[in-house]
């Protein structure tokens, strides 16, 4: 006899069908954009009836929300890889690599990402950005911040909230000013978080933060 119980099998089938609908929606959104994709397009791609679609999702907005979660899952997977590959104590390396991930997340060029950034879908984009900020800030606080705390003093209060606001601000700034130099982004992150730059085992004098213009004037 098989060790798989009927309820387990039904649950797996349910999840597989739901995942196939989400994947089809994501493919279509990327290929032809959000506004040009209908529920009928999605059901045709999967090969299921509209009735079955509505068994899993009440409307197109609901499946779009699931696609957003799918994108966020991909981003968190990249973030998990970044965290695993970090050189412990090397703040400059961590800043350089996280800026690369940030740029990839902001500028992946497909129809769905472009549609999200349009005025037509501004509310959906804000929802997406807030979900990214929430889940990214939560992940970093539970992993990276704990590692940092073993070597450095945490010099900010409201750690989760600070990361949340920082993520939204950096993403908005990069979208508005895509030409911004990576060094500026690294400085913004490090200054906001009051990080001890140039004190890690791999950091040298060349990695010390640049002296601010106001300090130079004061001297």
CA pair distance 127, 31, nearest whole angstrom? 22
Decide: 25 and 66 in contact? Cβ < 8 Å. Answer: yes
pTM of the entire structure?
0.76
CA pair distance 68, 66, nearest whole angstrom? 5
Q: What is the per-residue pLDDT for 163?
A: 96
pLDDT tens-digit readout, 31-59: 888 888 999 999 999 999 999 999 999 99
Decide: 95 and 205 in contact? Cβ < 8 Å. Answer: no
Residues in the chain where the model's pLDDT stays below 50: 1, 199-219
Q: What is the per-residue pLDDT for 88?
A: 79
CA pair distance 8, 140, nearest whole angstrom? 34
């Amino acid at each position: 006899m098989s060790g798989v119980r009927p309820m387990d099998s039904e649950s797996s089938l349910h999840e597989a069908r739901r995942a196939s609908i989400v994947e089809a929606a994501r493919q279509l959104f990327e290929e032809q954009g959000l506004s040009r994709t209908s529920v009928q397009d999605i059901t045709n791609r999967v090969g299921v009836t509209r009735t079955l679609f509505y068994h899993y999702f009440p409307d197109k907005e609901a499946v779009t929300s699931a696609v957003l979660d799918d994108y966020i899952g991909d981003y968190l997977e990249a973030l998990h890889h970044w965290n695993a590959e970090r050189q412990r104590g090397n703040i400059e390396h961590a800043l350089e690599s996280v800026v690369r991930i940030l740029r990839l997340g902001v500028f992946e060029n497909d129809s769905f990402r472009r549609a999200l950034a349009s005025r037509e879908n501004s509310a959906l984009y804000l929802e997406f950005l807030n979900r990214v900020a929430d889940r990214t800030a939560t992940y970093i606080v539970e992993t990276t911040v704990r590692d940092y705390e073993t070597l450095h003093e945490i010099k900010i209060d409201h750690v989760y909230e600070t990361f949340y606001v920082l993520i939204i601000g950096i993403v908005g700034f990069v979208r508005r000013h895509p030409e911004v130099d990576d060094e500026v982004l690294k400085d913004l992150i490090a200054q906001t978080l009051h990080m001890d730059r140039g004190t890690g085992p791999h950091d040298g004098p060349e990695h010390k933060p640049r002296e601010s213009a106001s300090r130079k004037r004061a001297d």
